[in-house]
Amino acid sequence: MEILSLLRCDTYEYDKVKVAIDDTFKQLGGIEKYIKPGMKVLLKINLLMKKRPEEATTTHPVFVEALVRAIQSAGGIVVIGDSPGGPYTVNALRGVYRACGIEQVAKNTGALLNYDISVKEVSFEKGRITKRFTVINPVFDTDFIITVPKLKTHGMTMFTGAVKNLFGVIPGINKAEYHFRMADKKDFCEMLVDLCEYVKPGLAIMDGIIGMEGSGPSGGSPRQIGAVIASENPYLVDLAAINIIGLKTNEVYTVYNSIARGLCPAQLEDVTMVGQAISEFVIADYKLPSGRGISFVDRLPAKMQRKINGWVSPNPIFIHETCVGCKDCAKACPPRAIEMKQQKPYVDMDKCIKCFCCQELCPKKAVEIKRPWWLRKILQ
């Protein structure tokens, strides 16, 4: 039976986080089970964009530092990496590492920050929906990969955790191509499971100390959760996290697909849980993204589902008063549906594929995701 470790840690005080990380490894069978002396370990953290740690958009630097030191004490050599949104360049990486507090982690610990921006085209015949990926080089250059996500809501996929975090191994603006090709969120999530199967992280350790609720993955609000969740099985970590924040498996297609493929147990009762009981972490009023809960659509034929989803699914709404005209949304939009007029964005909804990259990458929280007004009235 698979093991899921769940531990309480309510603060980013270094000493307490370090105890939680050390105890996590103990609960999973000991760090030496995973990390051998001299092994090069990639920490694939979440560095979506330049955000301060307290904004709860990125994996917290104290969490990363505690993990780095644990791996180093077992003899591992740590490389920290991610491909944030926007161009995948050395300068962009430097700016994100600095803003998110990760540059300081490297200075404190001697961990290596990835500046290798080369990529590889790989084929993956076992992929259900995606048989080729373009992947950043540290995935091939390291011996062991740990996905280290932040627990957050997500406008398109409802939730982002251990599996969605791995979308960051796709370099920069190449991500747009995947959104474009798999505009339907079910297909997109199938692709994410394919990608996770390709990357095959050896461990998933989630920063759920303070997560993000509401308009995640960048426009929501920090929310205290107090959980460090870990397993060899990344799908299981996500299953536990969505249980904590009150999402059902059929609302999060990465989890749903992983269960359907036999990669994840259908329920936590089928799992060996170590540490605290999950009931101690459940948050009844966790704010979920506004795209949630039109479940009757799932029971209709696929063709009809797509049509109805087009009518009922939420739209990006640009708040021009808050917008500073940086154009990041227009640059990130896969189908080029956003036009800037007098330094404000306007979207052509006939072209929009509702991927919500615009919301994800807006530095000013100037993009809201809202259902059509008539549906909001019905669902009130």
Can you read off the two tokens belonging to residue 31? 């760090």
Q: What is the 3-state secondary structure (H, E, C) of 303-343?
A: HHHHHHHHHHCCEEEECCCCCCCCCHHHHHCCCCCEEEECC
Shortest reach from residue 369's CB to ligand SF4, in Å: 8
Shortest reach from residue 224's CB to ligand SF4, in Å: 27
Q: What is the largest CA-CA distance in the chain?
A: 60
Q: Which is nearer to ligand SF4, 91 or 342 (CB)?
A: 342
Q: Which is nearer to ligand SF4, 259 or 326 (CB)?
A: 326
Can you read off the two tokens belonging to residue 329? 């949304």
Q: Which is nearer to ligand SF4, 19 or 326 (CB)?
A: 326
Shortest reach from residue 21's CB to ligand SF4, in Å: 35
Q: Which is nearer to ligand SF4, 220 or 234 (CB)?
A: 220
> Among 234, 197, 272, which Cα is nearest to 1's?
272
Shortest reach from residue 106's CB to ligand SF4, in Å: 28
Can you read off the two tokens belonging to residue 134? 């373009």
Burial class (CB in 10 A: 0-12, 13-18, 19+), 52: exposed
Q: Which is nearer to ligand SF4, 20 or 329 (CB)?
A: 329
Q: Answer yes or no: are the C-beta atoms of 211 and 245 closer than 8 Å.
A: yes
Q: Which is nearer to ligand SF4, 27 or 309 (CB)?
A: 309
Rounded-to-integer distance, Cα 101 and Cα 51, Å? 9
Shortest reach from residue 87's CB to ligand SF4, in Å: 15
H/E segment holding residue 25: helix 14-27
Rounded-to-integer distance, Cα 201 and Cα 264, Å? 15
Shortest reach from residue 302's CB to ligand SF4, in Å: 21
Residues of this chain that interact with ligand SF4 (CB under 6 A) are: 316, 318, 323-329, 332-335, 337-338, 345, 347, 352-358, 362, 364, 366-367
Q: Answer yes or no: are the C-beta atoms of 84 and 218 closer than 8 Å.
A: no
Q: Which is nearer to ligand SF4, 287 or 364 (CB)?
A: 364
Q: Which is nearer to ligand SF4, 60 or 152 (CB)?
A: 152
Rounded-to-integer distance, Cα 329 and Cα 337, Å? 10
Burial class (CB in 10 A: 0-12, 13-18, 19+), 304: exposed
> Among 360, 364, 372, 361, which Cα is nearest to 315's?
372
Shortest reach from residue 57's CB to ligand SF4, in Å: 14
Shortest reach from residue 37's CB to ligand SF4, in Å: 45
